Structure 1
Amino acid sequence: MYPTTTPLKAAVIVVSDRISSGLKPEHAADSAVEMLQGADVEISHREIVREEEAAFTIALQSRLQAGDDIIVTLGGTGTRIGNVVPEVTGRQICARLHGLETQVLLKGLESSPKAGLSRGVIGVTKYGHPTTLIVNSAGSRGAVTDTLSVVLPRVDDILREC
């Protein structure tokens, strides 16, 4: 069990060709960082990678090796070429948290029917401790807010109470 005084560490990985090439400004990660910090989670790393399986795999594995407690990914959850975040994430987790995924979907649908297009996965890398919680979110600010407003209240149950 984690001591309650140990701050959780989180990484935020943005997966977007348009943002990585500078064609589009990045705003959703700011929202994610703000929400994580508001939940007393320390930001250990922030990165933008291209929508390529190899690039995202390297970024994700790097953060797993670094020992982050939470990895939040933004983007790469749709159906365009290069949107492989759920598949890559699926290879790293042992237990999907389908209930949280459903709650995120329902929360998102309150704001936009496009929420149903996200294939984001939420899960842990192993049973017991230590484990890493990986959360895939679509790349918009609204999606990040919806996703983290559902997940963050459950973090202690997932990472500290098991």
Structure 2
Amino acid sequence: MTASAHVLTVSDRSARGEREDAAGPVAVAALREAGWECPDARIVADGAEVVEAALRDAVAAGARLVVTTGGTGVGPRDRTPEGTTAVIDREVPGIAEELRRRGLAETPSAILTRGVAGVVGESLVVNLPGSPRAVASGMPVIIGVAGHVLSQLGGGDH
């Protein structure tokens, strides 16, 4: 796969420089290893409007796949799913369901993730939790289906 991917790390603390981004680099490394062109992760603060703007920027920059890490929980500032829903045209719930299923096999708290997945134009957007372990577990799912999704979005056969 030689398409462009972007990773957005959604974290108030990382955006303020108080905590190193540990999850974004895991996603970037997985994408690059799978053959995707992917710049380093972009760190943005929590909040639906910030996430929405960053997703729109990534798609406008040509990203065919955008993976977010963080902001999918139930905390007051965890609004990544809301920002994502404002951008996507159609949800692809099976991806988010499988990510939750795999996460639940590792930790009971995975059931609390509210991440979504969907398409906007000819791009796929997927939310992952902010833990490096959840990202490492989820990236094979995303990489495994992303090429097929993009082919279908481009008019390819099922």
TM-score under structure 2 length normalisation: 0.90
Q: Where does residue 151 of structure 1 map in the other structure? A: 142
What stretches of structure 2 of length at least 5 have no aligned partner?
Answer: none
1:79 to 74, 79, 83: 74
* CA RMSD after TM alignment: 1.5
Q: What displacement does 1:45 show?
A: 5.4
1:12 to 1, 7, 10: 7
What stretches of structure 1 of length at least 5 have no aligned partner?
Answer: none
Check if 1:92 corresponds to 2:52.
no
Check if 1:38 corresponds to 2:33.
yes
Measured in 2, the distance between the counterparts of 1:71 and 1:27 equals: 17
Identity %: 32
User: In structure 1, what residue type is equivalent to 2:26?
Assistant: S
1:8-53 Cα deviation digits (max 9, x unpaired): 1011111101111222221111110111011101114531111133
2:56 to 52, 58, 61: 61
Count of aligned pairs: 153
1:141 to 117, 122, 132: 132
Measured in 1, the distance between the counterparts of 2:49 and 2:120 equals: 19
Q: What displacement does 1:55 show?
A: 2.3
Q: What displacement does 1:95 show?
A: 1.9
1:61-111 Cα deviation digits (max 9, x unpaired): 111211210111110111112211111111211221111211111110111
4+ residue runs over 6 A deviation: none
Measured in 1, the distance between the counterparts of 2:40 and 2:89 equals: 23
Measured in 2, the distance between the counterparts of 1:124 and 1:92 equals: 9
2:119 to 99, 119, 124: 124
Check if 1:105 corresponds to 2:96.
no
